[in-house]
Amino acid sequence: MSSFNYEKDPQGIVTLTMDMAGPVNTINAEYQAAMQESIDRLEHEPALTGVILASAKKVFVAGADLNALVCATAEQSTEIYQNIVALKRDLRRLEKLPVPVVAAINGAALGGGYELCLACNYRIALNEPEVRIGFPEVALGLFPASGGVVRLTHLLGVEKALEIILGSQQMGPSNALARGLVDHLVASKATLIASAKEWIFTHQSDADAAVQPWDRKGRRIPGGSIHAPRNAQYAAVAPAMLHKKTRGLMPNAVAAMDIAFQASILDVDTALRIESRAAVKIVTSAVAKNMITAFFFQLNMIKSGASRPAQVKQTSVRKLGVIGAGMMGQGIAYVAAAAGVDVVLKDKTQDAADAGKAHAEKLVAKQLAKGKLDTADADAILASIVATTEDEHLVGCDLIIEAVFENIALKNSLVATTEHCLAADGFWSSNTSTLPITQLAEASVNPERFIGIHFFSPVDKMPLVEIIAGEKTSDEALSKAFDFARQIGKIPIVVNDSLGFFTSRTFSSYLDEGAQLLVEGEHPIRIENLGKATGMPLGPLQVQDETSLELSRKISETWAAMGVADQWGSGETQRRVVKDMITDNGRGGRHHGGGFYEYFEDGTKTIWSGLYDLYFDPKVVLPDKDISDRLMFRQVIETLKCYQSGVVRSVADANIGSIMGIGAPAHTGGFIQFVNTYGFEAFIMRCDELMHLYGDRFSCPDIVRQRAASGELFT
């Protein structure tokens, strides 16, 4: 039994130390065989007084083998069900042992790893940052299917359990203790096993110590069943709230809620069977495959540096210059300072620079109020930001990022006047979201050290950074930009230079198709609702209001001045609508008094009535499917064009970039994964239909036809 080390001490306590082949303990066939063998032995162990589950790895248990899950098919349903039942049977046998069982949690116990902990009578965790506890499954298109939903519901109650499960929450030891996920913390690894043995020893005479709460006669679930008054109120609104959040596109979340409700009124064994049956359908679903592919495999590829030049040594930024203390600049300054970087925040006036630093002060105050920062750390963050108007403070910067508005003359002048301030091996970056980096780099004396680093707003919340390599950008500059993004906790995708790059270009296609539907006479509320029904966070009209119609106008003017306005795509409809809204009606967007929507002091909004007079034609009623497909397919087609032409370098970057930067529905796994799931032939056929009905912008990219012929998926 090489996978688990079985050791019994003179007091009759068996320590079962999991030590599987490979770097982590994973729940797979090897694990199941070792666990079954261990429990067989424990059930027949003479003079047994207690059991401790421990790990020889840095991670307690990493959870299920996602390589196997992502390949699961409906044809394997019987086998999958039998495997789930067998795994749960062993966990049930473990918690039915006549002696106390303690989980000694030395590292991350997530997903299936924490489900194992729940099958123990007592949970002790090491109080260190690397210890993470919780259930990330819903964010991967799954739910905790090895008893996690049932046991956590019985342990914490319906509402508290679902808050953790549906939120895919992972937490540190202190939070886990406060919320009841663990029972005790220890300060060092050296005392972990000793503390577990002490608890077993001191509870030898406590008959309940070896009985799980849900197996005790007469025991009531915290908060009661789903029929209890408070829970009944929760059950009346929770499904609708979940549907609003997921748009009905996440069946795994619905299943988890349903199981929790049923678990509150059923005995554990019956609830576990219901959980197992539901798990088979979810594990074999397209949603699970899409989300596991994107949020586990492809996201980890990006984090591990798949798009980073491997031959360049890793670097870090010690001193950062940010020019422009507006919304983007102040956000960049804050996240860098929070990561321990010294920041110079420069603007034209001291008042503007100070206002930028004041943004950091507000964010730090919020973190203090939530207990996420202590005073010393808060003071250190603010002390590391120097607000100034003077170029001399930029001297010695490892990186300077300009974050001024999209005016190429202004950007060029900043390069010319401040590039000399960089450290000898420093590099320059533009935070532009639309202007070609190669063209901007012409103002630099060192274009090989010029790169685009496109942040998303709000910078402190949006995880993505789009790194844009110009024609002359060196591998060294690209690597440094990638390393900086990881240093400040961002997810970097790497793209090649193009007007609008990848994210802005694809995002613009969504806005343009919304505008096209509007000018065709479609009802604006239908456009908005069907955009959101696809899973997009906002409808195309609202998102234009939020990002500013005025900004769209300025970008269009800049593109025209650069002679690149028609370099790609079909955006003339959006430009026409922007002109109609601003020039003719003074509607510049939410922050300019209103745009497609009217905004009221109480926080509500409604479609601007003038929009109906401008565009609405009651005789135009397109099929719902055509509207939703037009809004989705425009973005997917633009993404495919970016991949086909080499603008976006990898499928992983395209999928993660589309989700985190554009708002692609998470259940699709990203805009390229959408094609894999839709099916190549079906996708080609639908593109042809849309092209025949609505125009050449729906022409299917050649790369899809090539993949259809070869049978090779996008990976």
Residue written as token pair 């495919």? 640
Of 143, 156, 161, 155, nearest to 238 by C-alpha is 161
Confidence at residue 223, expressed as pLDDT on a 0 to 100 scale: 96
Confidence at residue 567, expressed as pLDDT on a 0 to 100 scale: 61
pLDDT > 90? residue 554: no
- Quote the mean pLDDT of the chain: 96
Of 73, 247, 261, 88, nearest to 165 by C-alpha is 261
Q: Worst-scoring range by mean pLDDT, 79-88, 114-123, 219-228, 546-555?
A: 546-555
pLDDT > 60? residue 524: yes
Pick the CATH number of 503-646+679-710 from 3.40.140.10, 1.10.1040.50, 3.30.950.10, 3.40.720.10: 1.10.1040.50
pLDDT > 90? residue 571: no
305-310 mean pLDDT: 97
Higher pLDDT, 370 or 135: 135
Domain 4-288 architecture: Alpha-Beta Complex (3.90)
Q: Does 319-496 carry CATH code 3.40.50.720?
A: yes
User: CA-based Rg of the chain, rounded to a whole angstrom?
Assistant: 28
| pLDDT classification of 81: cutoffs 50, 70, 90 | very high
Specify the domain boundaries for CATH 3.40.50.720 within the chain: 319-496
pLDDT > 60? residue 568: no
pLDDT > 90? residue 564: no
Confidence at residue 566, expressed as pLDDT on a 0 to 100 scale: 62
Token output for 14: 């068996």
Token output for 245: 């959040």
- Provide, rounded to the nearest whole percent, the portion of the chain with pLDDT above 70: 98
Higher pLDDT, 42 or 575: 42
Token output for 700: 């299917």
Of 58, 55, 8, 38, nearest to 197 by C-alpha is 8
Of 46, 146, 43, nearest to 101 by C-alpha is 43
The contacts of residue 109 (CB under 8 Å, 6+ apart) are: 60, 61, 103, 116, 117, 125, 131, 132, 133
The contacts of residue 173 (CB under 8 Å, 6+ apart) are: 125, 126, 127, 128, 131, 133, 182, 185
pLDDT > 80? residue 560: no
**Predicted confidence (pLDDT) per residue in 162-218, tens digit:** 999 999 999 999 999 999 999 999 999 999 999 999 999 999 999 999 999 999 998
Q: Where are the beta strands (DSSP E) in 347-481?
A: 385-388, 397-402, 422-430, 450-455, 464-469
**Predicted confidence (pLDDT) per residue in 603-639, tens digit:** 999 999 999 999 999 999 999 999 999 999 999 999 9
| pLDDT classification of 565: cutoffs 50, 70, 90 | low
Sheet holding 184-186, edge to edge: 4-8, 13-18, 50-55, 101-105, 122-126, 184-186
Specify the domain boundaries for CATH 3.90.226.10 within the chain: 4-288
**How do beta strands 450-455 and 464-469 pair?**
antiparallel
**Predicted confidence (pLDDT) per residue in 91-141, tens digit:** 999 999 999 999 999 999 999 999 999 999 999 999 999 999 999 999 999
User: Tell me, what amino acid is at 64?
Assistant: A
Nearest 5°: the CA angle 399, 402, 404 is: 165
Confidence at residue 557, expressed as pLDDT on a 0 to 100 scale: 76
Higher pLDDT, 571 or 242: 242
Confidence at residue 473, expressed as pLDDT on a 0 to 100 scale: 98
Confidence at residue 2, expressed as pLDDT on a 0 to 100 scale: 66
Token output for 63: 């959870």
Strand-pair partners of 18: 4, 55
Higher pLDDT, 435 or 276: 276
Contact 105, 60 (CB under 8 A): yes
Distance CA 414, CA 606 (A): 41
Specify the domain boundaries for CATH 1.10.1040.50 within the chain: 503-646+679-710
- Provide, rounded to the nearest whole percent, the portion of the chain with pLDDT above 90: 92
Confidence at residue 632, expressed as pLDDT on a 0 to 100 scale: 99
Confidence at residue 278, expressed as pLDDT on a 0 to 100 scale: 98
Contact 348, 414 (CB under 8 A): no
How large is the angle between the packed helices 680-694 and 671-678, nearest 10 degrees?
110
Token output for 634: 């425009």
The Cα-based distances of 182 to 165, 178, 190, 221, 700 in angstroms read: 16, 8, 19, 17, 53
Confidence at residue 563, expressed as pLDDT on a 0 to 100 scale: 66
Token output for 713: 């998926």
- Per DSSP, the three-state class of 339 is coil
Token output for 467: 């790194």
Helices (H), 6-76: 29-43, 66-69
Upper half-sphere CA count for residue 599 (Cβ side, 13 Å): 14
Confidence at residue 245, expressed as pLDDT on a 0 to 100 scale: 96
Question: Please, is 220 exposed, middle or buried when counting C-beta atoms within 10 Å of its C-beta (0-12, 13-18, 19+)?
Answer: exposed
